[in-house]
Structure 1
């Protein structure tokens, strides 16, 4: 089976977890002999092989307005005279292109749903930037109907979680076909030996982008509900970093809160091993959450809010609370700390069982066979 994987960016170009997941998909499909994959990316002009997968970078395309990159990508892909059995759209921004190309070529298409670019962010609890707000009220308002029509040519949508499916059903894709397929573990992710650290306090850890929707402000507020036996490390950067630093400085727990900023990936993996509890306090329907998988691989209990994909990944009800509830976060954190050894072992076993490539890749294979059969 020949699969054309279409994505805006592909490693070593790196913007976040979506690029890591696209690489894992391509490499693991090849390694499991499910498909011969060729990646078509739009982050340069170059042909190369990355991790054993041929990658054709056809052009540099802008992110906004969505019509422009989709028109450029469609024309470039038409010129390629694609030889494939299945088209697979990844990382959202070029899904209209793949739908349009599928209809033109008569080749079946699937698309992973891992973001919400065509939906007004305020509808899903994300505070948009001024640029995004203006775009939504002007250009996107007129672009959206045509781009959605092109997306509807895709035969099967593969949301990372049922939460993503629910969002898309409410925003113009109620009658589409869906099959939930989650992200998979990165087999190259190596968990260092756990360290006890020098502190006798319970070490809480957050890793991720610092923006309003991530809810980190509520995690900082939760520290005021926790006794002095707890300290918090926040790893990451983003537009909310300065306001979070001010919030931490004004907290009674300010001496127990450390915002490290962005750090090298090697140090992030070590941060998992020196932590006792991982906390993911998002307030929006986040599609999945790769850092949650990494924390669970490292044997940590994970506290999360009961919204989006993270709520489906964290199996313990006592470790999930309502979004924007700092006191609820504190209660969950105390429970996680008290039972951390048992829960950590449970989590490490669960992610190996549910999210390994041996479990997830056959789900992609079944999706391809389904659209080919139809």
Structure 2
């Protein structure tokens, strides 16, 4: 298992740049996996790579196609650009795409292929698997998807410009979805971030016997737990200070922050002294501010705005409880690992695989229900020490070394398919 492989690695966007959790995870994976394998990283992105700090340049080569045009369609341009590297990709022992967007490219290769399923994009043009923006979708259909895209845009009301751009991109991805499903069996192996993601893709026609679950690993930037399983944090909230709740993420309706604000109102009505800190920005921000004003919560909420990654660790350390109020089945939810690694108990909506990630380190509540959120908050506070003490053992399943080893084993298994 110690043999180094020659791996072609296709990240989500440009590693080392500011961006989504997938970009951050790609960066961390390159740093980790380059210790064991020789990587050539193929970047196909609309981003400007000159603004990124490329990770792990020792035994890592970069083939960069950046500043790609967004028209006629951003995804099509990325796929077309990567297809221009087919001959180079064929020369590796293994190709691993950490983006779900390149299944049609991988399907062209004779080289063993591994595709990460870290979004719903291959089976949903909007990427969220939410039919009309309200409920879990059972699978795509061309007319069904077109109708869903327009209906969702009308319901979200997150600004005409934003919705027009989103609708244009989503409509252009309908044929990509059906191409990905048609070619799903031409990929040798899949990596899913979570159990529910593996189940959902299997139900839509992907080869479930080729899908292995390997979760994210926690970012050591946020770690406050020592090798002895101890933390410098206090195990209970200070009696003379407000209990600090923290939300980190985009301010979009599907993130459920409006549910959190309504839940906060109910928690305060039960006599708790609470401060909610909201770290993030987005198209739903104005509506959330108006909701807070309508509920007379201005004094109970601190709007932190967008917080740079380098400053986030301190934000987590100052929180007593992390709240994840999402309304949809996110592929994973890296913020949950950030909370766990900072030794912060979690209050999470029962969506996706939050039970798998949170485990005994927190409490869950019915998604979309402010009253259920308030009830779960009381359960968490009543048993706070038990949740706090459960974190060090539970988080070991997401330790970098554990996930790194699982990936290396998966690489060798897939590469051996060429024999």
TM-score (ref. length: structure 2): 0.79
Once residues 116 and 219 of structure 2 are traced to their aligned partners in structure 1, the CA distance between those partners, rounded to angstroms, is 18
C-alpha separation in 2, matches of 1:86 and 1:71: 21
Q: Judging changes above 3 Å, is the alpha-carbon distance between structure 1 residues 238 and 164 closer, same or farther for their aligned structure 2 residues?
A: same
Deviations 1:285-312 (A, max 9, x none): 1011111111111111111111113232
Partners in 2 of 1:278 and 1:61 — Cα distance? 37
Given the alignment of the two structures, is residue 14 of structure 1 paired with residue 24 of structure 2, yes or no? no
Moved more, 200-209 or 140-149: 140-149
Correspondence 1:220-239 to 2 at 5 A:
220-227=261-268, 228-239=272-283
How many angstroms does 1:210 deviate by? 1.2
**Distance change >3 Å, CA 266–CA 204, structure 1 → 2:** same
Per-residue CA deviation, residues 46-84 of structure 1 (Å, 9 max, x unaligned), is 899632333221343356353332122111x12536531
In structure 2, the partner of 1:183 is 216
Is 1:370 the equivalent of 2:403? no
Residue number in structure 2 paired with 1:124: 130
> 1:206 is paired with a residue of what secondary structure?
strand
> How far does residue 24 in structure 1 lie from its aligned partner after superposition?
1.5
CA displacement at 1:174 relative to structure 2: 5.4
Deviation at 1:218, TM superposition (A): 0.3
Match of 1:85 among 89, 93, 103: 93
**Structure 2 contact 103–115 (Cα < 8 Å) conserved:** yes
- Aligned to 1:226, what secondary structure does the other structure show? helix
Q: How does 1:78-227 map to 2 (within 5 A)?
A: 78=86, 80=88, 82-100=90-108, 102=109, 106-118=110-122, 119-121=124-126, 123-124=129-130, 126=133, 127-128=152-153, 129-136=163-170, 138-173=171-206, 177-191=210-224, 194=233, 200-227=241-268
CA contact (8 A) 2:98 2:116 kept: yes
Distance 1:58 1:175, change over 3 A: same
**TM-score, normalised by the number of residues in structure 1:** 0.88
User: Is this contact kept in 2: 1:8–1:94, CA < 8 A?
Assistant: no
Q: Does 1:58 align with 2:65?
A: yes
Q: Tell me the secondary structure at the aligned position of residue 61 of structure 1.
A: coil
List per-residue Cα deviations over 1:114-171 (Å, max 9, x = no partner). 11224043742655534333554x5333343224334442111111001112222233
In structure 1, runs of 5+ residues without a counterpart are none
- My pick for the range that moved more, 341-350 or 145-154, is 145-154
Report what 2:318 is aligned to: 274
Deviation at 1:108, TM superposition (A): 0.6
Deviations 1:190-240 (A, max 9, x none): 549548789611110001111111111100000111124122111101111
2:107 is paired with a residue whose SS is helix
Give the Å deviation of 1:172.
Answer: 3.9
Q: CA RMSD in A?
A: 2.7
Distance apart, 1:111 and its partner CA? 1.1
On the 8 A contact 1:218/1:326 being kept in 2, the answer is yes
SS where residue 278 of structure 1 aligns? strand
SS at match of 2:371: helix
Task: State how far apart, in whole Å, the 1-side matches of 2:265 and 2:89 are.
Answer: 60
SS in 1 for 2:387: helix
Would you say the 8 A contact 2:16–2:53 is kept in 1? no
Q: Tell me whether 1:257 sits opposite 2:301 in the alignment.
A: yes
CA distance in 1, matches of 2:207, 2:89: 33
Q: How many pairs were matched up?
A: 365
Matched, 1:4 2:8: yes
